[in-house]
A and B are shown apart, each in its own frame.
Chain A
Amino acid sequence: MDQTIATHSPDFFSDHAISSKAAGRSLGNRVLTTICVGLAFLTLIPLFSIVFLVLKNGLPLLKWSVFTGLPPAAGTVGGGFGNAVIGTFVMVGIALAIATPLGILSAIFINEYAPFSRLSKTVRFVAKLLTGIPSIIAGVFAFAVVVLATGKFSAIAGGVALAVLILPTILLTSEQALLGVQRAYREASFGLGATPFQTIWRIVLPEAMPAMMTGIMLAVARAAGETAPVLFTALFSQYWAQSVWEPTASLAVLIYNFSTLPYDYQIQLAWTASLVLVCLVTVSNVVAQMVFQKK
């Protein structure tokens, strides 16, 4: 074969051309590595900025009284967001009450009963699409079916909107949890003469429970932080809620409402609410990860 073809490259077997060309390539290599690492760390700057500002602006007002007080009227000082904390928990609770059974039962159907049926394939596809739907659309839906139907803004409407939002999260993570249960367990159970229900209830579900809890915690984290779905379904309230059928405050909407007001105290309160919200979301996420890692 023609030896000339080889001469362009740095060659271990000849002395010339080793250092110059190879050195050029390794320099280029180092430049690219530096750029890549540099850009990666550049993205961390905004995050540190967010965490720093939330702490710096949020901590001064973080006292027990903000959890017991009511939101101050525009221009006044004092009070807190006790009703918003409760409102957030209530609406997340309503959302869980709707979405958890629906999501887990659907996951059981598509993984245990009929994994290859047309309905199951459709459910998986629809769940993927629901994850992609903008959160505000969940709000629009709840506005149409609850607010317009009942004629009033309410915690129920907010809860329904959040339920639509977290249903796919719970469904898809539950499916993964069920997939993680060994086939051999099911076969052993069926082999002993158990019915499908007994197998699922006594063998599969206990085994899949920790991973399912992860999904639910992730859903809680997501729902607690969402603003758009509750913005015009639960609206907001200056007062303690008397029932789930009246406008209800939430931390997220409080931050949104107060962020654009021209009063220092309200803006400070928005930062403190952000701090509480970020902590709530982060704790849910970390707990979710820990539950999962234990499995």
Chain B
Amino acid sequence: MNSPSPESSALDEYKSGPDIFRILCWVAAAATVATLAWIVYEIVKQASPAISEFGFGFITGKVWSANRDIFGVLPFLIGTVVSSVIAIVIALPLGLSVAIFLSEDFLPLPVRQVVRFVVELLAAIPSVVYGLWGIAVVIPLVQEYGAILAKNLGPSIPLFKGPAFGNSMLTASLVLALMILPTITAISRTALVAVPKTLREGAYALGATRWEAILGVIMPTAAPGIVAATILALGRAMGETMAIAMLIGNSSRLTWSLLSPSGTLAGLLANEFGEASGLQIASLMYAALLLVVLTLGVNIIGEAVLRRAQKNVAGAL
């Protein structure tokens, strides 16, 4: 190679105009941010007829009737929260047990790896398949045992008031619990594994048994991560659509009974969007807006807790 004046040629190359690739990447990054803004804007825009028609009364309204053009979303709002909370109550102890099981050496590593693989598989199964399975397995079970519950507990406890339906809040919550279990397990396991080994050794050196170390030191240290896991799982449960739409019965009737059909916001959208028109579309958009606000809020809190949890663990190291 001949190099008459390397300095000037290098300089020439640097002056060869702006970095077009950089601009391209910037545009993509900006477009990603714009996507979220666009989603919110579009939903608000489409919902505006319903917002101006019903205002805040949309949230407290108990009647959803496309025939009469009256749209109130309260039963679905309550259904969303209740089904998610029940699912968390069921899934948390199970998910935590699996997370502890995976992070301790109760059984040899190959067994744990199989369990871990299976739980990851659980996360990969499509929602609609859970729904199909729920129809085939959970609905008959809830119908059978729900009737017994309704007969024995129904008269005294309104939660189990009969008649017992297969398509019910209880069915949806049970399947939902199964669906969020992998989320709880994965994040909790990460938090448990991140607890420094020295803390475990410290507990053992003081004469702690394994479970005294787990319950007294390891779980409290991992607690912020476990809380974050729970909140993020709650967010997922609230947005879960297909399995719920197939199992909950999609009723807008407000009831105390877990054995009765109920509805959720996501289920409502799945059921009605395909054939909606006019004010119904606007009202569904309004419902979608509420769902976005609800899930975004829960997720922002969850991410904040998770970030603090990770900082905490880093501080303990």
Q: Do chains A and B touch in the complex (CB under 8 A)?
A: yes
Q: How large is the interface on A (under 10, 10 to 19, 20 to 34, 35 or more residues)?
A: 35 or more
Shortest Cβ distance from A228 into B: residue: B241
In-complex Cβ contact of B31 among A29, A102, A128, A195 (8 A): A102
How many angstroms between the C-alpha atoms of A122 and B266 in the bound complex? 27
Tell me whether A197 and B240 are in contact in the complex, defined as CB-CB below 8 angstroms, given that A36-B97, A122-B33, A126-B32 are known contacts.
no
B285 touches A144 (CB 8 A): yes
In-complex Cβ contact of A123 among B33, B245, B273 (8 A): B33
**A221 at the B interface (CB under 8 A):** yes
**A185 at the B interface (CB under 8 A):** no
Q: How far is the CB of B115 from chain A (nearest CB, A)?
A: 6
**A67 at the B interface (CB under 8 A):** no
Q: Which residues of chain B (133-160) have a CB below 8 Å from chain A?
A: 133, 135-137
**B317 at the A interface (CB under 8 A):** no
A136 touches B126 (CB 8 A): no
B36 touches A129 (CB 8 A): yes
Q: Which residues of chain A (248-293) have a CB below 8 Å from chain B?
A: 252, 255-256, 259-260, 270-271, 274, 277-278, 281-282, 285
In-complex Cβ contact of B126 among A226, A235, A260 (8 A): A226
Q: Which residues of chain A (200-237) have a CB below 8 Å from chain B?
A: 200-201, 221, 224-228, 231-232, 235
A109 touches B291 (CB 8 A): no
A37 touches B131 (CB 8 A): no
Which one of B50-58, B61-69, B296-304 contacts A? Answer: B296-304
Q: Which residues of chain A (120-158) have a CB below 8 Å from chain B?
A: 120, 122-123, 126-130, 132-141, 143-145, 148
Tell me whether A32 and B211 are in contact in the complex, defined as CB-CB below 8 angstroms, given that A105-B25, A113-B26, A148-B46 are known contacts.
yes
Shortest Cβ distance from B307 into A: residue: A128
How many angstroms between the C-alpha atoms of A277 and B128 in the bound complex? 10
**A49 at the B interface (CB under 8 A):** yes
Q: Which residues of chain A (37-52) have a CB below 8 Å from chain B?
A: 37, 39-44, 46-47, 49-50
Please, which residues of chain B bring their CB within 8 A of the CB of A28? 209, 211
A143 touches B273 (CB 8 A): yes
Q: How far is the CB of B164 from chain A (nearest CB, A)?
A: 20
Q: Is the interface of A mostly helix, strand, loop or mixed?
A: helix
Please, which residues of chain A bring their CB within 8 A of the CB of B19? 195-197
Q: How far is the CB of B101 from chain A (nearest CB, A)?
A: 4
A278 touches B129 (CB 8 A): yes
Tell me whether A197 and B22 are in contact in the complex, defined as CB-CB below 8 angstroms, given that A29-B210, A40-B97, A132-B299 are known contacts.
yes
How many angstroms between the C-alpha atoms of A43 and B94 in the bound complex? 7
**A14 at the B interface (CB under 8 A):** no
**B109 at the A interface (CB under 8 A):** no
B107 touches A37 (CB 8 A): yes
**B124 at the A interface (CB under 8 A):** yes
Q: How far is the CB of B118 from chain A (nearest CB, A)?
A: 6
**A53 at the B interface (CB under 8 A):** yes
B36 touches A126 (CB 8 A): yes
Contact bitstring B266-296, A, C-beta under 8 A = 1, else 0: 1001100110000001001100100110011
A164 touches B291 (CB 8 A): no
Shortest Cβ distance from B45 into A: residue: A144
Interfacial residues, chain A to chain B (CB-CB below 8 A): 9-10, 25-26, 28-29, 32-33, 35-37, 39-44, 46-47, 49-50, 53-54, 57, 101-103, 105-106, 108-110, 112-113, 119-120, 122-123, 126-130, 132-141, 143-145, 148, 164, 167, 171, 193, 195-197, 200-201, 221, 224-228, 231-232, 235, 252, 255-256, 259-260, 270-271, 274, 277-278, 281-282, 285
Known contacts A43-B178, A102-B32, then 7 further A-B pairs from the complex at CB < 8 Å, ordered by chain A residue: A39-B94, A130-B35, A132-B303, A225-B126, A255-B128, A255-B129, A281-B125
Interface CB pairs A-B, < 8 A, 11: A39-B93, A50-B130, A106-B25, A106-B32, A108-B25, A109-B26, A139-B269, A144-B42, A164-B35, A235-B274, A277-B129
